[in-house]
Amino acid sequence: MKPVTIYDTTLRDGTQGTGISFSVLDKIRVAEKLDSFGVDYIEGGWPGSNPRDVAFFAEAANRTWKHAKIAAFGSTRRGGVSVETDSQVRTLLEANTPVVTIVGKTWLLHVTEVLGVSPEENLAMIADTVAFLKKNGREVFYDAEHFFDSYREDSEYSTRTLAAAKNAGADLLVLCDTNGGTLSDEVARITGEVIQALGCPVGIHTHNDCGLGVANALAAVAVGACQVQGTINGYGERVGNCNLTTLIPTLQAKKGIQVVPDLRRLREVSRFVDELANVPQDIRAPYVGGAAFTHKGGLHVHAVQKLARSYEHIDPALVGNAQTILVSDMSGQSNILAKTAELGFEFQKGSAEVAAILRHVKDSEAAGYEFEAADASFDLLVRRTLGRHQPLFELKEYHCSFRRSALHGFTTCEATVKIRINGVSEYTVDEGDGPVNALDAALRKALRPFYSWIDDLRLADYKVRIVDGARGTAARTRVLIVSTDGSSTWGTVGVSDNIIEASWLALVDSFEFYSVKQRA
């Protein structure tokens, strides 16, 4: 028996978060990923609440799960209605899951003001529902909603609600910090008192409204909680739930409590769920974020090159992440040496080449450039500084125009490009949805007769950032372009007072970098 089990509620509580939504297929794929990762329980949703959850449970019932148990979520029977005739309880059985989690009221404020029933009827609602589900062969978890708020006001009644579930046969009592406002020392004290009073298995369900979702779960585990409920990447209502991608490695790597078989898959799982939810990955997420093991300051880089743990609390490979060295105006020679080594260059510290590269980086960043997300432009900066770069073409001229016809109701952008390649002049014209699209099309048309690979790459993302907003419409603009050939991606950056020129610089760098890859 594991000392702590993981109960994932990404597919139910997580989808209550702003901007989080999954299709039926998405939910199945997430559940399969969590199952293969080693999560113990996967809460699929609330049967009967919406067609997607109904379809999910129907599909889940036909699948074989390697490790996890699928759980359906619902509430206690309604007041004044027998449990056998309560349609919502019936749908919990019809979901055909081995586990059912029911939520009940523990706070008298909710019992009398929200449900509108007597305290004794509330206790009966809890007991009747648990007993009915147990009689029908289900493993039953009881979620005590708003438990910590309730316990502060009336610990005696709050404990009676738990006892009602326990005495009816509940397999686990889950203490919920539903409002997310309880502090860690209070979570530990109250959880300890409940375990001592009732002598039965207790779980913890926390929210992150004070930024303590993970800390509160750890506090409960420290005093004997044997299950943690949470979501991948901390999705959830308001600011989210206990973040399992932070909790799991903390339990396993820091506390020595084994909860999943292979922690190295953690970042893969995190990114997979973000991708299906169609939300940006949090680069600053502990353990799994892109910045979690990133070093920028020169002193830090110098130290981690000698001894990684001097500035890294764990080996990033343990959670499927990797060390990253950035170059910026804060860089020292150690940054340059580390970053250029990643690109296949070898320099000696203190060499003239390193000094020249560092000077160009600092000058460029002073002008508004950033290379943190533009490794390809940094690669080209190094090559140009060393005189090792052969340009794709010689630019003669480019031009963009935008035309809107009020009479005919159309808009169009047109671009012309004049370049010289191997002594041959090319002059091309093309149109696009916007000036950058038109420039891209015209440049490709000019390059296509000379470079057969030009259509293998495409633009995957385009971002514009104002560098010095105090100048208003005259502000300097930084453009970041992400390109891909289908198997790899790279970022390039351009900076100018003119957004068209900034875009052109980033666009050309993308093509130039790909040509380097082709020659390699």
> Looking at residue 469, what is its pLDDT?
64
> Looking at residue 346, what is its pLDDT?
83
Over residues 179-207, mean pLDDT: 97
> Looking at residue 391, what is its pLDDT?
92
Structure tokens at 136: 């029908």
Strands (DSSP E) along 183-267, which ranges? 202-206, 227-230
372 found inside a domain: no
Over residues 76-89, mean pLDDT: 93
Last residue of one domain, picked from the residues 261, 285, 307 = 261
What CATH code is carried by the domain that includes residue 31?
3.20.20.70
Please state, in angstroms and rounded to a whole number, the distance separating the CA atoms of residues 472 and 511.
Answer: 31
141 found inside a domain: yes
Most distant CA atoms of the chain, gap in Å: 92
Exposure letters 85-111 (e unless 16+ CB within 10 A, then b): ebebbebbbebebebbbbbbbbbbebb
Q: Does an H or E element contain 432, and which?
A: strand 424-432
109 found inside a domain: yes
> Looking at residue 275, what is its pLDDT?
78
Highest mean pLDDT among 308-312, 355-359, 390-394: 390-394
345 found inside a domain: no
Please state, in angstroms and rounded to a whole number, the distance separating the CA atoms of residues 311 and 295.
Answer: 9
For residue range 10-24, what is the model confidence (pLDDT) as tens digits?
A: 999 999 999 898 888
Over residues 282-308, mean pLDDT: 74
Higher pLDDT among residues 65 and 25, named by residue: 65
Domain count along the chain? 2
Last residue of one domain, picked from the residues 200, 234, 261 = 261
Q: Which residue has the tokens 């990762």?
A: 37
Residue 491 contacts residue 462 (beta carbons within 8 Å): no
Same domain, 72 and 218: yes
pLDDT at 406 over 80: no
pLDDT band of residue 295 (cuts 50, 70, 90) is confident
Last residue of one domain, picked from the residues 406, 435, 450 = 450
β-strands 477-484, 294-295: how paired? unpaired
> Looking at residue 331, what is its pLDDT?
62
217 found inside a domain: yes
Contact residues for 102 (Cβ-Cβ < 8 A; gap 6+): 73, 74, 75, 76, 92, 129, 130, 133, 140, 141, 142, 143
What CATH code is carried by the domain that includes residue 409?
3.30.160
Claim: this prediction has a pTM higher than 0.75: no
pLDDT band of residue 240 (cuts 50, 70, 90) is very high
277 found inside a domain: no
pLDDT band of residue 351 (cuts 50, 70, 90) is confident
296 found inside a domain: no
Structure tokens at 213: 């979702």
470 found inside a domain: no
Same domain, 102 and 251: yes
Boundaries of domain holding 408: 393-450
Question: Beta partners for 426?
Answer: 419
pLDDT at 38 over 90: yes
pLDDT at 91 over 70: yes
For residue range 464-514, what is the model confidence (pLDDT) as tens digits?
A: 888 776 666 667 898 989 888 887 888 899 999 999 999 999 999 999 999
Please state, in angstroms and rounded to a whole number, the distance separating the CA atoms of residues 295 and 326.
Answer: 6
